[in-house]
Amino acid sequence: MDTSYFRKQHLPLNEELVLMMASAPWELDQFKTKGIDLLLQAVKKLPFLKLVLLWRGTYENELQKRIKVMNVGGQIDIINRKVDVNAILAKVHGTILLAENPNLVKAYPHSLIESLAAGKPVITSSVIAMSDYISKNRCGFVIDDFSLEALITKIEQFRSKYVSCSEAANRVGADDFTIQRMFDEMGAVYEKVINNIHR
């Protein structure tokens, strides 16, 4: 994807940790399987945590109902309109994307790539293919167990290791997901195949 649009914008970590989530459910049961219910529970348990939810139109009433039941409205900002994602990323410390199974989101989700391109570390589930890249480059945290306890642990680790994760996100993200990088890697595959044929 074209990552040149995204600007690296560091946000110091003070009392509040702000995470963006940009994967709204398109079915009701995805409040569970995309970890939205877990995130609301985590917000309830962690007074320092604030969420920015890019919602994109589906089930907003259901979301509002759940937020009211959990009494966490003061910690959640819902954005349900077209926005400049770069401007939103400037106001958050990182991005979180959860999934109970790999079929729910893309292998390399745009929200995670955009976050890294802006120098923002990420938290994601181990079932998402991109989690290997995140672990290898230490530009965020990967949750192996789809549970509230595991989620809270990783959010707290993210908070305590924020400086090193941010530095790692600044080193990687933008360059690793450019269109040119894709062409270069495809070219390398073809060159390898051609060289093997001519042996």
Residue 167 confidence (pLDDT): 93
User: Mind giving me the DSSP string for 144-164?
Assistant: SS-SHHHHHHHHHHHHHTHHH
Q: How far apart are CA 67 and CA 76, in angstroms?
A: 8
Q: How does pLDDT run across 125-171, given as a tens digit for each residue?
A: 999 999 999 999 999 999 999 999 999 999 999 999 999 999 999 88
Reported as a single tens digit per residue, the pLDDT across 62-75 is 999 999 999 999 99
pLDDT at 89: 95
Sheet holding 76-79, edge to edge: 76-79, 49-54, 17-21, 94-97, 122-125, 140-143
pLDDT at 175: 66
pTM of the model: 0.86
Distances (CA, A) of 131 to 53, 111, 174: 21, 13, 17
The reported pLDDT for the residue numbered 195 is: 74
* Model confidence band, residue 10 (pLDDT cutoffs 50, 70, 90): confident
For position 57, what pLDDT does the model report? 74
Cα distance between residue 153 and residue 143, in whole Å: 9
Q: Which of the four CATH numbers 3.30.70.270, 3.40.50.2000, 3.30.70.20, 3.40.50.620 does domain 17-174 have?
A: 3.40.50.2000
Position 91 scores a pLDDT of: 96
How much of the chain, in percent, has pLDDT values that exceed 70? 88
Q: What is the pLDDT of residue 181?
A: 55
Q: pLDDT for 34-49, tens place per residue?
A: 999 999 999 999 999 9
* Average pLDDT rounded to a whole number, residues 98-105: 94
Question: Quick check: 1 pLDDT over 80?
Answer: no
pLDDT at 45: 97
Q: State the Cα–Cα distance between residues 106 and 103, nearest whole angstrom.
A: 7
pLDDT at position 118: 92
- pLDDT tier at 100, thresholds 50, 70, 90: very high
* pLDDT tops 70 at residue 2: no
- Whether the per-residue pLDDT at 178 is higher than 80: the answer is no
What 8-state DSSP symbol labels residue 46?
-
- Going from N- to C-terminal start, the domains of the chain cover 17-174
